């Protein structure tokens, strides 16, 4: 048995969903401590309350949004600047905790502080996320303007986590790796138990998932179809024109997704991958200003498993055409259904075995500050 420190980005639910899929496979054999903030903290603290998995609150960076629901570069940059002020003291606290508890391995899902602390302590790091496709895969298939945005975002990704012992890229799509890239494993989506074990049917309804605000035009386009639609992510709003708004609940959402006709969603990698695994065509509506989602939407179209439209331009006719192409989408989905969880866990187990076998050369000079973390918000063994 080993001790694993696992960091999760807290922007959106996709990071936490991936972390949970992996932790569920690890916790029977290892002690796992999860570090998270934002949406991930809320989901993981609730999931592991009263269990042997400990969840710690740490600060992190989240997107800033404008009043129109568009990702605001200025607000996001301001949040990142505030975080940079906290980063070095946070890393020092994590160094102190690593020196005290002596974990065998650090795993990170796009959380930058924990791998920095691990490197100071000579501890191996496994990076498991989607974002590193921007730095490891050949994106020549994208239009030039989107490749430029991918290049800029790739710089941010490298600044977050750049020196991992092994990088695992989880994605619903797999493009060829760039020349010279090494120590990278490409896997499918990491699936939580509710998705992996779900019995799929076609109940005739649609499922929609949006984060925060969504342009009224997009909701109007869905309502214009006249199909019963269960909308998650916007809270329990009053029903209207066939749209029923529901609070996010893991089990209810998984059951509705498994029984739906198709999914209409923001273009997050994780939710697209879950839908494809369940055999559901996806219509993606990328968040305005979110260029990672813009890339995901394009690659969804290339995959042949769904279609996409800009949220301020989507029409009921676009969705009708999408639903009319279900047979074609289903044929492509059958070739692309993947579960990458076992391969991701295998990468962790390889590194855990190596770390235990060779030991960890802690650097006493790295332990700079004696300050504690926020108390745990979930169970402790």
Residue with more model confidence, 199 or 13: 199
DSSP string for residues in 36-56: E-HHHHHHHHHHTTTSS-EEE
Distance in angstroms (rounded) separating the CA atoms of residues 290 and 269: 13
CB 160 within 8 A of CB 153: no
C-alpha 254/C-alpha 22 separation (Å) is: 17
pLDDT band at 368 (very low <50, low <70, confident <90, very high): very low
Q: What is the structure's pLDDT at 357?
A: 54
At 288, the pLDDT band (50, 70, 90 cuts) reads confident
> Is CATH 3.30.450.40 correct for 194-336?
no
Cα dihedral 67, 71, 75, 79 in deg (nearest 10): 130
pLDDT tens across 304-353, in order?
A: 999 999 988 999 999 999 999 999 999 999 888 889 999 999 999 999 98
Domain spans of the chain, in order of start: 3-190+339-366, 194-336
Show the DSSP H helices in 57-143 as ranges: 73-101, 113-120, 133-136
CATH superfamily of 3-190+339-366: Glycogen Phosphorylase B; (3.40.50.2000)
**Angle, alpha carbons 304-309-311 (nearest 5°):** 150
Lowest mean pLDDT among 60-64, 90-94, 324-328: 60-64
Rg (alpha carbons) of the chain, rounded to whole number: 21
Q: What is the pLDDT of residues 112-158, one digit of tens each?
A: 999 999 999 999 999 999 999 999 999 999 999 999 999 999 998 99
- The pLDDT value recorded for residue 66 is 64
pLDDT at 356 (0 to 100): 61
Q: List the single range of 8-12, 18-22, 96-100, 368-372 with lowest mean pLDDT.
A: 368-372
pLDDT, residue 372, reads 37
CATH topology match: 3-190+339-366 vs 194-336 = yes
In contact, 230 and 286? CB cutoff 8 Å: no
Query: Taking residues 30-42, what's their average pLDDT?
Result: 93
């Amino acid at each position: 048995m080993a001790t694993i420190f696992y960091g999760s980005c807290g922007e959106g639910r996709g990071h936490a969903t991936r972390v949970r899929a992996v932790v569920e496979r690890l916790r029977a054999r290892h002690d796992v401590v999860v570090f998270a903030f934002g949406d991930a903290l809320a989901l993981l603290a609730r999931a592991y309350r009263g269990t042997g998995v400990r969840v710690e609150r740490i600060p992190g960076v989240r997107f800033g949004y404008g009043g129109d629901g568009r990702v605001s570069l200025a607000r996001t940059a301001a949040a990142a600047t505030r975080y940079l002020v906290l980063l070095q003291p946070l890393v020092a606290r994590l160094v102190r905790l690593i020196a005290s508890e002596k974990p065998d391995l650090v795993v990170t899902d796009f959380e930058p502080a924990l791998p920095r602390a691990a490197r100071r302590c000579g501890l191996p790091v496994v990076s498991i996320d989607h974002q590193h496709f921007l730095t490891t895969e050949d994106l020549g298939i994208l239009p030039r303007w989107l490749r430029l945005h991918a290049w800029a975002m790739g710089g941010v990704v490298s600044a977050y986590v750049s020196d991992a012992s092994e990088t695992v890229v989880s994605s619903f799509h797999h493009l060829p790796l760039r020349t010279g890239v090494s120590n990278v494993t490409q896997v499918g989506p990491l699936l939580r138990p509710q998705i992996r074990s779900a019995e799929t049917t076609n109940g005739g309804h649609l499922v929609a998932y949006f984060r925060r605000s969504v342009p009224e035009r997009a909701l109007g386009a869905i309502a214009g179809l006249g199909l019963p639609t269960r909308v998650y992510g916007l809270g329990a709003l009053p029903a209207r024109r066939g749209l029923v708004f529901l609070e996010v609940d893991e089990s209810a959402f998984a059951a509705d997704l498994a029984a739906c006709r198709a999914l209409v969603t923001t273009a997050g990698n994780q939710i697209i991958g879950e839908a494809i695994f369940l055999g559901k065509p996806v219509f993606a509506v990328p968040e305005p200003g979110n260029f990672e989602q813009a890339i995901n939407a394009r690659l969804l179209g290339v995959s042949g498993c769904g279609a996409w439209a800009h949220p301020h331009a989507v029409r009921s006719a676009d969705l009708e055409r999408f639903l009319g192409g279900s047979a074609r989408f289903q044929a492509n989905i059958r070739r692309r259904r993947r579960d990458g969880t076992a391969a991701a866990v295998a990468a962790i187990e390889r590194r855990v075995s190596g770390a235990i076998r060779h030991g960890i050369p802690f650097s006493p000079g790295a332990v700079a500050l004696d300050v504690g973390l926020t108390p745990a918000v979930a169970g402790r063994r």
